[in-house]
Structure 1
Amino acid sequence: MMKNTPDYKKIYRDMIALKYPDKASLCKPILNKSQIQIMDIIRLDEILSENTDTEQIRNNQKLKAYDLKAIRDILQFQKEYGYNNRQLATHFRLSRNTVTRWKKMLENKS
């Protein structure tokens, strides 16, 4: 059975072509990868949201969803860089409560 996942490369290529053609060169190295991971998607989002209206960023935050692999990648990022929960939350534009909830969730799965 095939898992239905969005074709993020196509989505971001189309979005860049339509709305952000000036940022295409910054996104090209990521989009040229054979497969993009969640951290690549987060980086693309950071590139495209740079200089974007604060209200729009706030609204986009409400629509974000993370799968278990993404959560593990983000928490691994925290370990690699020695970030505390506040720093991690700020870096990825999350709430500190979300980070704490993810840690507890993964603790319970172990």
Structure 2
Amino acid sequence: MGKKIQQLKPDYKRIYHDILSDEYPERIDEFKNILEKPILSFLDMLQLNQKIFGKVDKSIETFNQRHRSYSANDIFEILDYQKNNNLNNVQLANHFKLSRNTITKWKKMFRS
């Protein structure tokens, strides 16, 4: 019972590389600079996803949004994005397709 459960994270770098090599081999050079980073950040993954797949159907986007999870690093990156781009909570929420309440909650939790 005292065993620690190892929390595994998906290897997004490998996933995106496989998608590109299988579906869009001619576009691999376009994404080389992002895929060569040692660790992909949340913003890198959003950028890759948008550039590879473009606009997604609204119902699919809504479904995907419900199943996102954010690490503390992701949250800090989003809040730093807000600070660097002088966005208010509504603008940030619209940009990342989040709830205004989520942004407010994160700010209270992490920026006390």
Q: TM-score, normalised by structure 1?
A: 0.79
CA root-mean-square deviation = 2.4
Q: Distance in 1 between matches of 2:69 and 2:18?
A: 21
Structure 2, unmatched stretches of 5+, are none
Structure 2 residue corresponding to 1:53, chosen from 51, 57, 60: 57
Q: Verify the 8 A CA contact 1:27 1:47 in the aligned structure 2.
A: no
1:90 corresponds to: 94
1:6 corresponds to: 10
Structure 1, unmatched stretches of 5+, are none
How many matched pairs? 108
Say which structure is richer in helix: 1
Percent of paired sites with the same residue: 39
Q: TM-score, normalised by structure 2?
A: 0.78
Query: What whole-Å deviation, never above 9, does each CA across 1:8-35 have from its counterpart, x for those lacking one?
Result: 1111122334455575454332112233
Shift of 1:58: 1.3
> Radius of gyration: which is bigger?
2
